Amino acid sequence: MSTFPTAPDVRSTPEGLLWEPSERWVRGRTGNVTVVDSRHPVLVWEPGVPVPLYAFPREEVREDLLRPAKNPPTGTHTGSRIFYDLEVGGGPPENPGILENAAWTFPADDLAGHIAFEWFRRVGRGLDHWYEEEEEIFVHPRDPHKRVDALPSGRHVRVEIGGTVVADTTRPVLLFETGLPTRYYIPREDVRLELFQPTDHSTGCPYKGTAAYWSWRGEAGVTGIPQNIVWSYPEPLPAVGAVKDLLAFYNEAVDITVDGARLERPVTGFTKTLSARSSR
């Protein structure tokens, strides 16, 4: 989870939105069609949503591709009332490449003249490729008020599941990410990987890249372990290259001991999700 920004250039609206101008060159595409090409985007934080999104001046959006939404989800996105379907072509005449409710305007005077878009890899609809400058980004915009640091360490880290030691190392990489507990990335040689099986689950992160996952298949009698409890970044983004191919466990669902001290299991935005996918 991200913390909301408090820098002087962040502005608020009566509707509870926070926003600030960005100097990044941002493009959004669906297929081969560039829908947004903006050098004047603004970052917007909605109430209760931990990550930002972009809104763009109308003149930097392909408005000719927007149609008034046929089934607008009125009231979502902080009470927005104006939504657009995106027509990008390539479909049959009865549905000529329509992306429903792909864009909207916020009901805030400060953001009048701006249009926001959904990101496919976050909500399953909207534009599917986004770029900041020449780098593709995934899931949501990066939060300029958030840091992610991956630091090699000499701490002694031990991980247990149901009393079974599944990892033990003195050469972890600690990943510090604003708003989240420290994650301990462990060399594969120091993990009992035979107790886990790879899955086809994957997730994307704008700060770290695309993660692959493993689920517990370990010792009999140990139940209630969430699926996809272990992850790794085979091709991390350059800023966190130190975690490449290392393995991390959800602190929320395993027991981690660092330098002899057992850590409390944190409660985060992942806790409920992990509980829902626990094995029986």
Tell me the per-residue pLDDT of 128-166, one tens digit each, with 9 for 90 and over: 999 999 999 999 999 999 999 999 999 999 999 999 999
Q: Region 53-80: what's the mean pLDDT?
A: 96
Residue predicted with more confidence, 220 or 9: 9
pLDDT value at residue 2: 46
Over the stretch 184-218, which tens digit does the pLDDT of each residue have? 999 999 999 999 999 999 999 999 999 999 999 97
Query: Using CA atoms, how far apart are residues 43 and 110, in angstroms rounded to an integer?
Result: 12
Rounded to two decimals, the pTM is 0.83
Q: Region 62-83: what's the mean pLDDT?
A: 95
Residue predicted with more confidence, 89 or 74: 74
pLDDT value at residue 192: 96
Q: Region 219-237: what's the mean pLDDT?
A: 88
Residue predicted with more confidence, 94 or 44: 44
Least Cα distance to 182 among 78, 64, 261 occurs for: 261
Query: Using CA atoms, how far apart are residues 9 and 17, in angstroms rounded to an integer?
Result: 14
Three-class secondary structure assignment of 67-133: EECCCCCCCHHHHCCEEEEEECCCCCCCCCCEEEEEEEECCCHHHCCEEEECEHHHHCCCECEEEEC
Does the pLDDT at position 258 exceed 80? yes
Confidence class of residue 224 from pLDDT cuts 50, 70 and 90? confident
pLDDT value at residue 275: 80
pLDDT value at residue 97: 83
pLDDT value at residue 280: 45
Residues 6+ apart with CB under 8 A from 59: none
Q: Region 68-91: what's the mean pLDDT?
A: 91
